[in-house]
Structure 1
Amino acid sequence: MILDIATGRVIRKFHGHDGEVNAVKFNEYASVVVSTGYDRSLHAWECRSHNIEPI
């Protein structure tokens, strides 16, 4: 999930992991976000689309 730090409001939620996430990284253009989880999976999402499922 992406939060607005100033307001605490949820901006966007992503689907994909079956458990807790332990690392998140955006590419240098903030167009893709990648995360790894304790479920032993790695997922990537296209940030410019409105799709909540990983690419």
Structure 2
Amino acid sequence: MKTIRMATFAAEVEARKRELGVVDYEATKEALRNKGGTRTPEKRAFLVRIEVRAKAA
């Protein structure tokens, strides 16, 4: 398995989006964003653990 940093991944995604002509309008991003209203308690706990680990890295 290959490990990459989140910043590297995000930069690669942005580059691919530019190549494909995908435009990020704020209204579009907000409409597509997952607000998490139906997340299970397990998923919420999982996301908290991810955030804690990311901050510690």
**Which category describes the TM-score, using the shorter chain as reference length?**
under 0.3
Larger of the two Rg values belongs to structure: 2
More strand by share: 1
More helix by share: 2
Greater relative CO, 1 or 2 (CA 8 Å, sep 6+): 1
TM-score (normalised: structure 1) = 0.21
